[in-house]
Structure 1
């Protein structure tokens, strides 16, 4: 009888595991969706890297966003490092570098805790920031991590603050951490034991890739080290990203469940200083459990069992006060924070959850309904086939959102634009590209063509007529090609260009065309869509066709590019607030262009266009104007009222 009861309990847990698996897939995506998110970010970074190899700074997206998470609590983590500086572990590695072009820095780990090091400047620095961070120590020139952080923070904007080794800030509700670090092409000797441990996971080619890409150093010392203010921490961010990519989807979702457990139970309601456990600890425990091969079957029906093994290891670590770094086990990541009274408190809290068993997962709001659903309906059938969990429209919505969010190549002049276009041209035919990377390159190309066209007009504005005429023909052609590759609303850039070059009737013909497309009931606008109508209208067609027929976004204007004179003051205002991008709802810009154009060709219709704009601004309930963009919408209404002579209303 006991064995029958145990069997039934196991069956029930497997059933709940499958339900939670489905819930997590709906929250963070199926394996296909997670792969797509990573591919989009990877190809953007690849383009940036090839273009900026000769530039001063290299940028790498890291953290949970790079891993494929898009959770509300996730922030954007980026790493920046000077390209002409390299850290080496011993002097024999210096012969790999041209010291005329690259400044070398030598590690000195002799007096630092495991995972930390002092950095000794081997040759004179040409970087003012690094030079000002140098101190005299041991009769040599060392780079102080605290002074380096201070220098970086002094160059940051007023709304950014120091957060550990990072500079933190926010774009609206989205928080970011920028870590300014130094790069090393060689694997740390202190992490050599990790290579020897990799028997079953990860695979040998991944191990080789990780080791060949070296590591980084972030500007923060060990709180219990003798040289806390001057030490640097060895960072394995790139290696960790590759390890997360090497997880199967059940392992990834176990990691996700641990993050939700941390955020929604352990750290819920705590001040920042009281949060003893962090997401990095959760990632570390998953790495250890996978590599120790304690769970041979990472499958949907074992998801809660996988979570439980990881949870018990966290409990053991907290009890012992030891959390071994995955790459350098001698580096105890609890040493400076989890000890004494706080350690005992945390252990008792975790042990209390342990005594409740898996039932404590009901305290996680994100997955509670999926557990209750099975408890109330034990015989309900759970389908874990990922291909049926997400509809075509939902997948498309996620894909377009990813593409739109990461379409952020910074273009300041024609030369930069051409370097980007040339790089994409060389990449586009590669058989190694995934289908998501191809569509991302297509959108990057469309954006580059738009920006190149407008920058070309700016740079040839004062040239002779013949050159201006040729530049105009090229710009018009680029804008039209961009519209064929991009979203519906990319056509608004053609309308703006026509208006600015006084082709008002041509601009109005474009706005009429856009109005017709935006009026379609199957339109996907800013991720709002009737999925049934969308699928009936464009289901099964190529992503390129869908974007051109059915997808629209708010317009993104860069502060350094001139679009139309009537928006210059708004761009300058954004720049004063240290915002390089100005967002305008597409419908607002559409009606604005109609008002501006009708002033020159049909004054009788100006008021109608102005009334349409005014009605939209006054009565929209967040459908066409996002709450974040209501201010700019009111500003544009005021600009149009002022231009049409209604100064009193504009002032109001």
Structure 2
């Protein structure tokens, strides 16, 4: 099978559909890169940087993808040589020396050279030979305690160098660490090796060296009384740039190895070994990376893994002296793994059929010699598919800032970025972020305002309206109108809110609207991405639980926030009907609010998930109940609240629902 180029090409296209086409992967990376560029100035202002790492940042979107984050303080300056301390003379900086004397390869001790006021660090200090070091084990425990106190609705536990928790079936890893812009001396041979082998490209290598490395709080597995002082050198940022430097065949081969490891090999190997294997094989430049040779690429990587297990050595890509199999793939675990790998080796590349995912791609090509898969980027729906991927990646971008100063910093960052040149996908991400931050800033101003005079109220109203209208000029259909309608309703301008709601419903009824399900893309197919987003893209409305925008949902926001949920997510089709009911009721338009109430109820009863996704139906039924309750239909409201409790509890608002049911029960009994 490994000699059949056609099967390799089928696998390539199948993996494009499973993992992502070159365009889709580029979109994912561009969107996250833009978000990072926007937020960096605010993070520096706060004194703490955050970097997303791992497979999600690399461009994968597996269902089981975890969210990995690295966090470090801006005022902690990690140096690899004492002479580098002269670069950090400003007061407020804490200088820490990476000391690799008598530590295993890939590990250092962190010697504190200047005092610190950080309690997490102060309580992690250990005196050794008249020098002060930071204990990795104590620092990690302090970090876990800190994040558990900060996020009381979640429970974080130590896992490797991270504080780990699970939220809504997604595993979240936070690694509190230290960053250095200085490339460690022990990894200098990697630079020389990269230049000799011409990979990564020179510009990527320069970027990697400019950003340095990190130290994460985990010690080596060696038995030593000073083991707790060891910190592992982390090259996560460099690894992300190396993955970005892969061509698409290499990226898919990396994904192929990840799938094979997860579904076939499992323990004790992990996906990090697959990534490192890819780096070594690419840099060796011993095979041709193209779709017709994908199976051969996999097989070369697979044989490298077997060789490493056979030798009992798996060299770290940056520091080869660091054997990553040490105390992990040893003894019975190594013997068992070697037997398993040899069994698959005897099968040849047909061992891929042991993976459920890969079997579904390969079997049709093996059964029929004439079977081919057309390129995922060449079929007639390619434009629409790109739009969907863009929308899916861009719309979750959110900025949950509660302080006006922080919002202004984001706007200032966006203003600077808007004058630069970016890729089309990054430009669109910036455009969407502009509307998001303007909307957030407007409601932060509104919630924090304390106007005492009519003039102050007038100025605030004009400022907020201008911000929301500016957001409407650059944002999507949802951003253009619905937040403005919510503002008008909040301010008691019910006729204005009704007018905007009516316009929104008209636009939502167009056949080219992209929300969920099949759309007519002909009308907007030739528009620019910017125009397309403003004309056709619709998303759910996200109400930040830290900002009260509409009083009827304050109870739900407070309960949801207590349970750790950041936002209430509302279908735009539900919200337009809700506003129609409430505004017409306030204006005593009886027939109109009854019709809108009927429309909302019909929508929830008859919809198959196209207009009201299943995962937000708990709040949707709650909203129907609230509308019925407001207009006096207590029996209908009770039934809707009970239906809300039967839905998937995505918003964790059950206590709010139960409280509303109890209130109705008291009204029934006249108490």
TM-score by length of 2: 0.90
Residue segments in structure 2 that go unaligned for 5+ positions in a row: 640-671
CA offsets 1:559-587 (integer angstroms, 9 cap, x no match)? 22221111211111121112222222222
Query: CA-atom RMSD, angstroms?
Result: 1.9
Matched, 1:592 2:549: no
Query: Which stretch shifts more, 61-70 or 25-34?
Result: 25-34
Offset at residue 101 of structure 1 (A): 2.1
Rounded to whole Å, the distance in 2 between the matches of 1:620 and 1:461 is 43
Cα distance between partner residues in 1 of 2:213 and 2:571:
42
Cα distance, 1:384 vs. partner? Answer: 4.8
1:485 maps to 2:474: yes
Q: Aligned to 1:642, which of 607, 625, 629?
A: 629
Query: Helix, strand or coil: the match of 2:229?
Result: coil
Q: What is the correspondence of 1:466-477 to structure 2 with a 5 Å cutoff?
A: 466-477=455-466
Compute the displacement of 1:37 (Å): 1.3
Q: Counterpart in 2 of 1:191?
A: 187
- Tell me the distance in 2 between the aligned counterparts of 1:64 and 1:390: 27
Counterpart of 1:124 in structure 2 is 115
Q: How does 1:256-267 map to 2 (within 5 A)?
A: 256-267=255-266
Residue 390 of structure 1 deviates from its aligned partner by 6.3
Q: Does 1:425 align with 2:415?
A: yes
Match of 1:143 among 118, 122, 134: 134
Q: Which of these residues, 263, 280, 290, is aligned with residue 282 of structure 2?
A: 290
Distance change (3 Å), C-alpha of 1:87 and 1:34: same
1: CA distance, partners of 2:144 / 2:381: 43
Aligned-partner Cα distance in 1 for 2:620–2:240? 40
How many residue pairs get matched?
629
Task: Give the secondary-structure state (helix, strand or coil) at the position aligned to 1:202.
Answer: coil
1:202-221 equivalences in 2 (<5 Å)? 202-221=200-219
> Offset at 1:287?
0.2
For the structure 1 residues 509 and 236, does the alpha-carbon distance in structure 2 shift closer, same or farther, using more than 3 Å as the test? same
Distance 2:23 2:314 in 1: 33
1:315 positional shift = 1.0
8 Å CA contact 1:523, 1:529 repeated in 2: no
The question of 1:53 aligning with 2:40 is answered no
CA distance in 2, matches of 1:630, 1:150: 39
Q: What displacement does 1:128 show?
A: 1.4
Partner of 2:545: 559
SS at match of 1:234: strand
Residue 521 of structure 1 is matched in structure 2 by: 511
Aligned mates of 2:493, 2:376 — CA distance in 1: 54
Match of 2:341 in 1: 350
Question: Shift of the alpha carbon at 1:537?
Answer: 2.4
Q: Is the 8 A contact 2:27 2:389 kept in 1?
A: no
Secondary structure, aligned partner of 2:45: coil
Q: 2: distance between equivalents of 1:61 and 1:266?
A: 27
Residues 225 and 289 of structure 1: CA distance in aligned 2, closer, same or farther (over 3 Å): farther
User: 2:172 aligned with 1:176, yes or no?
Assistant: yes
Q: Secondary structure at the match of 1:334?
A: coil
Residue 137 of structure 1 and its aligned partner are, at CA, apart by 2.8
Superposition map of 1:77-476 within 5 A: 77-155=68-146, 156=148, 157=151, 158-198=154-194, 199=196, 200-226=198-224, 227-267=226-266, 275-295=267-287, 297-381=288-372, 383-384=374-375, 386-388=377-379, 391-405=382-396, 407-431=397-421, 433-476=422-465
Aligned to 1:603: 590
2:659 match: none
Deviates more, 1:375-384 or 1:631-640: 375-384
Query: Which blocks of at least 5 consecutive residues in structure 1 are unaligned?
Result: 1-8, 268-274
